[in-house]
Chains A and B, each alone.
Chain A
Amino acid sequence: MYVEFDTILERLNQGRLWDFPGGVHPDGRKTLSNKHPITHLPMASELYVTVKQHIGTDGQVCVNVGDRVLKGQPLTRSTNPFAVPVHAPTSGHIKAIGPHVAAHPSGLSKQTVTLTPDGEDEWIELKPLKDYQKQAKTRIIEAICAAGISGMGGAGFPTHIKVAPKHNVEFLIINGVECEPYITADDCLMREHAWQIRQGIDVLMHLLSPKKVVIAIEDNKPEAIEAMQVACDKTSDILVVPVPTKYPAGGEKQLIQVITGREVPRQGLPIDVGVITQNVGTCYAVADAIMHGKPLIERVVTLTGEALNRPRNAWVPIGTPMSHLLAQGEYHAKRQQTPNVIMGGPMMGFTVTSNDVPVVKTTNCMLVGADHEIDLTQHEEPCIRCSACADACPASLLPQQLFWHSKAQEYDKAQDYNLFDCIECGACAFECPSHIPLVHYYRKAKADIRHQQAEKDKADKARERFEARKERLAREQAEREEKHRKAAEARRQAMNQSGDDAKDKIAAALARAKAKKAQETGAGSSTASTDAPSSNDKVAAAIARAKAKRAQAAGSPSADETPSASEDNKQDKVAAAIARAKAKRAAQKTEAAQESTPDVKAETPDAGSDANDKQARIAAAVAKAKAKRAAQQTEAAQESTPDVKAETPDAGSDANDKQARIAAAVAKAKAKRAAQHSEAAQGSTPDVKAETPDTGSDANDKQARIAAAVAKAKARRAAKADDKDQ
């Protein structure tokens, strides 16, 4: 049932209101603290300003330890729209920035700026927006945000978000109900500062342009009602409505129901039924911010309870610790068996875990009850199914069912009974004849459900990330394979392009290999005539010659005949070189066996300047290198430090001897590596100095250099590996 605006207005004018279901009538106990005007307290010796005092995100602390700050100076900064800053409540020095026990039932710590007041109380330069009606609305909202105003009724929702201009605002309800027992902060504020509250309401009206403003005050506060009526006398837009005293009439949804007869949908906001509500304290703070430029740095706190000798209302700077308030209220410890300080009222407040807990923007009361007021000794009895709780519930829930399911941790069933519509007003627990702390069970169940939900969200996120990672790895793998495939293709293509040259080389290499194989497998006794004209014959001759030499060398190393190579053709030379090398190797082996230090000097083959003797040179270089390696191995075995000096082959200036150089470099590197291995094995530090081969100034020796570098690197790596092994 949706009540039309005109009907509501008519009923309001007749003084007829709606009602909400349930509700209880606890003893108000308000006269304890509202007899005296609001006083200012002396400054506490230290203030603990919690960085996040509202619902939303916290800002970044923008001061440093040791800084002097002025009264009203912002301590945090943020660009997040759901963040409001906190300000220095007085001038002084920043003593610390770090975790400090927070105004929270858990007693856990939150990021807090600790301020030591210097007693000067020096204000920062204030920038009021007196002509706000001429200013852009966004400027007013910015000013409200910059003043750090968040809802002062209890939830602490950032005010600048709530007052951002909206369409279809029918009612702006100013909540001065203050239905919870003991608390009189709003009552006293309305009595003494009705005019400033009116100014704040004007600002909100300017921003929201509601059709009607209703100031709702419980009828047990006649002075406040009168004061507000006087303040709002001249305007017909504002209506002061006394509301019947019933707890929890001050709850946002309950108040909207009482005033308009409309119910805020579950999970909905008041704006869904055309209503915005603001606490009177918030209105006062808005007026302070716009008319005087003052940020929210102090608020009215009710100090009450019979354990205080001087209960009253006081202007308390944000961040004042409870211990200071207890001292100012003249706490009478003997009236309590166990010290018990409640922040908030008896229905919805919580026991503070430490007297260092600071006042925050939502702290409206500090209740220190004597033993006979607040009985902590009541024990929970079994539920008798009297259903008194269901009768008391203002949200029309079934507290009993919620209790069973919460206690049994059947949270899905509890949610079926709309656990999250519970406003935790405590009316059910108040009525319960078995003293069951019902709200306590609901809070625990809610926290558990939220926790499970958070876990679930996290698990979903983890799953998503895990899947994404798997996908990424698979993609990378595919990319890598693709790259390799392309590289192989490119190589193949390059090979085809360089075509004949490469093929020639391969053919030559094959021929050489074949020749060698023939040498090895061929019968040693065969002799061939050296003057055969065909090339095959020549090869055979060379092979035979070489064989003969090897045999000679093995037998008597002194016998070293120079082959009668009258022909100057290529293949002869190759064969000759191979033979020479072989002979030398054999000689070295023999020498090594005789444990004498071999004098290994690789001879440089007579390299003619002729372009045709390329292959001969290569062979020579290979032979030289092999000889050296053998020598070094021998030396190493004899535990002598090898003198590894790779000789650079006589590299002619001819462009054709490129390959020879490469071969030489490779040989050099190999030799070095071998030497290092040996040295390392002997525990001596290898002297790893790769010598740069004598490279001509010719541009063609690039490849030789690369080869040398590779060899150098290899040698180093080998040395390192050896070092590690040791």
Chain B
Amino acid sequence: MLGLIAMIALGLLALVFGIVLGYAAIRFRVEGDPLVDQIDDILPQTQCGQCGYPGCRPYAEAIANGDEINKCPPGGEATIKQLADLMGVEAKPLDAAHGEEDVKKVAFIREDECIGCTKCIQACPVDAILGAAKQMHTVIVDECTGCDLCVDPCPVDCIDMVPVEPTPTNWRWQLEPIAIKQVQ
């Protein structure tokens, strides 16, 4: 008799929790994968494809699904460190197969050599190249991510990747301090 009561009681409890959980699964369903968003936030968004994926978000999805975190040369060590923190894995050196960390660069079109073929415009993942067919093209420096993707399609090789020059506004303070001593 006691056993029966226990079974009924447990069965009822199981039923109640089952219903609650089932309801919660539908009611509080999370759309999308927040982990992918977090990873995507860390990635440098150059959309260069050096990781082997067509853009930063696909790579973020791949990382979330267990891909290596050291395939992003534009992000470099800093990004790997952040990803390692986020994913709870060991940080490892950048995979040289995907390229090496380099100084920040932006594309520059030698304008008198440009023939206006629009091939670079089609290659640019962030629409940072301005121009029209048979018109000179130019790079919007502020929008350029330095992904390198426009260099190869150019039939006349008029695109250079120019390192970004430091300016007083983006200069990182590196100064010998001014020491002063009280004069007696």
A residues with CB within 8 A of B: 26-27, 29, 102, 104-106, 108, 110, 342, 346-347, 349-351, 372-378, 429-430, 435, 437, 439-440, 443-444, 446-448, 451, 454-455, 458-463, 465-466, 468-469
Query: Hey, what's the 0/1 contact readout for B125-137 against A, CB within 8 Å counting as 1?
Result: 1111000000000
User: Of all chain A residues, which has the CB nearest B147?
Assistant: A462
Contact assessment for B173 and A460 in the assembled complex, using a CB-CB cutoff below 8 Å: no
Q: Mark B8-48, 1 if CB is under 8 A from A, else 0.
A: 00000000000000000000000000000000100111110
A458 to B56 alpha-carbon distance, docked (Å):
14
Does the CB pair B172–A451 fall under 8 Å?
Answer: yes
Known: A110-B168, A373-B181. A465 touches B127 (CB 8 A): yes
Which of the residues A346, A350, A461, A469 comes within 8 Å of B125, measured between beta carbons? A469
Interface size for B (C-beta < 8 A) is 32
B143 within 8 A of A: yes
Contacts of B46 in A (CB 8 A): 462
Q: Are B47 and A466 in contact (CB under 8 A)?
A: yes
CB–CB B170/A454 < 8 A: yes
Beyond A373-B181, A376-B179, A377-B179, 14 additional pairs, beta carbon < 8 A: A27-B183, A29-B183, A102-B168, A105-B173, A108-B171, A110-B168, A349-B178, A374-B180, A375-B179, A459-B43, A459-B45, A462-B47, A465-B128, A465-B143
- The 8 Å CB contact of A446, one of B56, B128, B173, B178, is B173
Residues of B within 8 A of A (CB): 40, 43-47, 55-57, 125-128, 143, 145, 166-168, 170-183
CB distance from B155 to the nearest CB of A (A): 15
Inter-chain contact total with CB atoms closer than 8 Å: 102
Q: List 9 A-B contacts (CB under 8 A).
A: A108-B171, A342-B178, A350-B178, A351-B175, A375-B180, A378-B181, A429-B177, A462-B47, A462-B143
Supposing A106-B166, A469-B125 touch, asked if A444 and B180 sit within 8 A by C-beta, the answer is: no
Task: Check A455–B44 contact: CB distance below 8 A.
Answer: yes
Assess whether B127 is in contact with A447, with CB atoms less than 8 Å apart: no
Q: Are B56 and A463 in contact, with the CB atoms below 8 A?
A: yes
Q: With A and B bound together, what is the CA distance between A145 and B149 in angstroms?
A: 45
Sorted nearest first, the 3 A-B pairs with minimum C-beta distance are: A437-B177, A459-B45, A106-B171
In angstroms, Cα B175 to Cα A351, docked, is 9
Interface pair A466/B125, CB less than 8 Å apart? yes
A460 B183 Cβ-Cβ under 8 A: no
Residues of B within 8 A of A351 (CB): 175-176, 178
Cα A564 to Cα B10 in complex, Å, equals: 107
Among B55, B166, B181, find the residue whose CB has the most chain A CB atoms closer than 10 A: B181
Q: A440 and B181 in contact (CB under 8 A), knowing A460-B45, A469-B126?
A: no
Q: How far is the CB of B61 from chain A (nearest CB, A)?
A: 14
In the bound complex, residues from chain A placing their C-beta under 8 Å from that of B55 are 466
Do B177 and A430 have beta carbons less than 8 Å apart?
Answer: no
- Residues of B within 8 Å of A346, CB to CB, are 178, 180
Chain A residues with CB under 8 Å of B170's CB are: 451, 454
Residues of B within 8 A of A459 (CB): 43-45
**B182 adjacent to A26 (CB under 8 Å):** yes
- The interface residues of chain B lying within 8 Å CB-to-CB of A447 are 171-173
Residues from chain A with Cβ under 8 Å of B125 in the complex: 466, 469
Instruction: Please tell me which one of the listed residues B45, B174, B178 contacts residue A463 in the complex, with CB atoms under 8 A apart.
Output: B45
- CB of A480 to closest CB in B, whole Å: 15
A702 to B128: give the CA distance in the assembly, Å: 47
A445 to chain B: closest residue by CB: B173
Q: Given the complex, which residues of A lie within 8 Å of B175, measured CB to CB?
A: 105, 350-351, 440, 443
**Could you tell me if A440 and B177 are in contact, using CB atoms closer than 8 angstroms?**
yes
CA distance A278 to B146 in the complex (A): 44
A604 to B40, CA, bound (A): 75
Closest-by-CB residue of B relative to A344 is B178
B160, chain A: closest CB distance, angstroms? 20
Tell me the complex Cα distance, A29–B182, Å: 10
- Complex contacts, A443 vs chain B, CB 8 Å: 173, 175
Docked CA distance A465–B177 (Å): 42
With both chains docked as a complex, state the minimum distance between the C-beta of A136 and any C-beta of chain B, in angstroms.
Answer: 35
B126-A462 in contact (CB<8A) = yes
